[in-house]
């Protein structure tokens, strides 16, 4: 899960997906904290993919990846 710095808490029924979209548009960086739970999260996947899409070569360092647990890294995470 990601939390934009200084963002208000999104309450139930308050448009979580829209809030997530706004956060990914406004964020300078997205931190991917690799763990089994993160890799299984549909929301986390959408967030890191948005960051990667806006900086696929990594020149602006939009996506920062940290592995915090022993977890199966597949696909593009395999070399992280």
Count up the domains in the chain and report the number. 1
Report DSSP state, residue 59.
Answer: T
Residue 1 lies in a domain: no
For residue 67 the two structure tokens come to 């592995």
Residues of the domain holding 23: 17-70
Q: Is residue 48 part of a domain?
A: yes
Query: What is the enclosing helix (H) or strand (E) of 34?
Result: strand 30-34
Please report whether residue 51 resides in a domain: yes
User: What pLDDT, on the 0 to 100 scale, is given for residue 61?
Assistant: 93
Distance CA 33, CA 73 (A): 12
Tens of pLDDT, residue by residue, the chain (80 residues): 445 554 556 566 667 778 877 887 888 898 888 898 888 888 888 888 888 998 999 999 999 989 888 888 777 777 64
Contact at 8 Å (CB) between 80 and 65? yes
Question: 45 in a domain, yes or no?
Answer: yes
Q: Is residue 32 part of a domain?
A: yes
Residue 3 maps to a domain: no
Of 63, 60, 8, nearest to 31 by C-alpha is: 63
Is 21 within the bounds of a domain?
yes
- CB neighbours (10 Å) of residue 78? 8
């Amino acid at each position: 899960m990601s939390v934009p710095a200084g963002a208000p808490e999104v309450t139930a029924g308050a448009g979580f997906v829209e809030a997530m979209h706004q956060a990914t548009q406004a964020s300078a960086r997205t931190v991917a904290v690799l763990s089994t739970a993160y890799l299984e999260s549909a929301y986390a996947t959408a967030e890191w993919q948005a960051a990667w899409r806006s900086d696929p070569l990594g020149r602006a360092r939009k996506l920062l990846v940290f592995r915090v647990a022993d977890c199966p890294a597949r696909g593009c995470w395999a070399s992280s």
